[in-house]
Amino acid sequence: MKLVGIDVSRWQGSINFKSVKAAGIDFVIIKAGGSDAGFYEDPMFKINYAGAKDAGLKVGAYYYVGSKFQGTESGIVDAKKFIRILGKRSFKYPVYVDVESTPQKEKSGTTDAVLSFCEYMEGKNYFTGIYGSDVSTFHDRVQAGRLINYTWWVAGYGKEPSHNYSVWQYTSSGSVNGISTRVDRDISKTDFNVIVTKHFNNN
């Protein structure tokens, strides 16, 4: 099974999600916020979430961390902030931590933070995954072998990722009806129905 999707943030501006759905898109992963420039919520998160749900799209979310995302305590702090932004909203796709901007020289500390982030999220009944690029994240920034228990959303432009992934972000310059800017395009190898049947992510 393959589903087609997009991921969006404030940079896509105002989105007509009904047109997006009519164009054949199955799912959307929405930026909720991050900690790379101080703690913040993406200003379009609530609007994008409401529009995507109203259009009947499957929705996931992601949280972007920065260079200070290091060690067990940091992971828990950011997980709590992510959950605060998500609120009581429900998601049929995973909720991800985006670690593409963590320092390459701190692979162990980043991996510790990712593990504690994911473990905390799971403890709160969220189906949690990890986002990053095929080489510069899963090879250069984390100890990938320690993260195999979580679903991966992997960016790889030009060729399919070498790592085991569930969602593949295959371009950052896609186009979709209903969005006036370029947009990331994704392919999912699973429908993640387990999230609904097992009542994860506030379902």
Q: What pLDDT, on the 0 to 100 scale, is given for residue 1?
A: 76
What mean pLDDT value characterizes the chain? Answer: 97
List Cα–Cα distances, 145 to 101, 139, 172, 175, 181, in angstroms. 19, 10, 27, 34, 36
- Told to judge if 7 belongs to the known catalytic residues of this protein, a careful annotator would answer yes
Residue 181, number of CB atoms within 10 A of its CB: 12
Strand partners of residue 38: 36
pLDDT band (50, 70, 90) for residue 163? confident
Catalytic residue among 100, 119, 122, 191: 100
Residue-wise pLDDT for 62-95, tens only, equals 999 999 999 999 999 999 999 999 999 999 999 9
Is residue 26 within 8 A of residue 58, CB to CB? The reply is yes
Tell whether the model's pLDDT for residue 60 goes beyond 80: yes
Percent share of the chain, pLDDT over 90: 97
| Mean pLDDT to the nearest integer, 47-53 | 98
DSSP H stretches of helix in the chain: 17-22, 45-55, 71-86, 107-123, 193-197
Tell whether the model's pLDDT for residue 158 goes beyond 90: no
Is residue 23 within 8 A of residue 185, CB to CB? The reply is no
